[in-house]
Structure 1
């Protein structure tokens, strides 16, 4: 049985993600794999590697923040207008461990003409919440594609 064609908005979100990833060496270096895209939504995963650990042998907070920031960027640009972060905060709940499979899920909470607000959740393979990230984006008038 064939699946119905993706909506134009989902197709645009996928095209924006593809365009962004072509030029995003940092997300590639982190090993981020986008699992699902949609308008105002992104879910990605990455595996915790030894070089991502801090001096206590747990996931460095900067790596968790960077992965969330990438998911935030994919979600807020998914509508096709270039968006940039105005602010971002993160609350760390539990440490990531070596070889954890981290899932980062970004959801749009509010979208206005110039501002978008996003909530992100980072979890491990046991669905344990590791961090909560909130990002506010400024939406420029420039089209991504």
Structure 2
């Protein structure tokens, strides 16, 4: 489980770069990474018309997916392959086309095999749109030593 000699922040950046290179769905969402560090990630995206449900509100699945991406980037930032065990989301406010949403993930607890993360999604007015909680299982596999698959188009 050895990683190249990186500082914790450099390791988080290297893992993020590898993950994003192969993550067509996060790119489709238009997620812009504002910051990543050990156990943290901040993303931003603009709500597009093709993200709305039949009532003109942001589809809950889009909010969930953005929060799930931030969770994935945060829990994998330590360089060990981590997978979600359980996640929950509370939708608090409807998003609308043109909204700029910020997605903040932060580590609440990190143990040898399990990490717990809170993700807060807010709009451009600072209003909470959703609260997401994720629990990740941490494998013993070093991310940067995994074979590098072809990137998705």
Question: TM over 0.5, yes or no?
Answer: yes
Does residue 136 of structure 2 align to residue 137 of structure 1? yes
Residue in structure 2 matched with residue 54 of structure 1 by the alignment: 53
Give the deviation of 1:117 after TM superposition: 0.2
TM-score (norm 2): 0.90
Residue in structure 2 matched with residue 27 of structure 1 by the alignment: 26
Residue in structure 2 matched with residue 4 of structure 1 by the alignment: none
Give the deviation of 1:100 after TM superposition: 0.3
Partner-residue secondary structure (3-state), 2:105: strand
Residue in structure 1 matched with residue 76 of structure 2 by the alignment: 77
Structure 1 unaligned runs (5+)?
1-6
For residues 120-131 of structure 1, the aligned pairs below 5 Å read: 120-131=119-130
Partners in 1 of 2:57 and 2:124 — Cα distance?
15
Partners in 1 of 2:139 and 2:25 — Cα distance?
23
Structure 1 runs (4+) greater than 6 angstroms displaced = none
Structure 2 unaligned runs (5+)?
1-5, 145-153
Residue in structure 1 matched with residue 3 of structure 2 by the alignment: none
Partners in 2 of 1:142 and 1:22 — Cα distance?
19
Partners in 1 of 2:132 and 2:27 — Cα distance?
21
TM-score (norm 1): 0.95
Partners in 1 of 2:36 and 2:29 — Cα distance?
18
Partner-residue secondary structure (3-state), 2:54: coil
Residue in structure 2 matched with residue 102 of structure 1 by the alignment: 101
Partner-residue secondary structure (3-state), 2:84: strand
Partners in 2 of 1:97 and 1:53 — Cα distance?
7
Give the deviation of 1:83 after TM superposition: 0.2
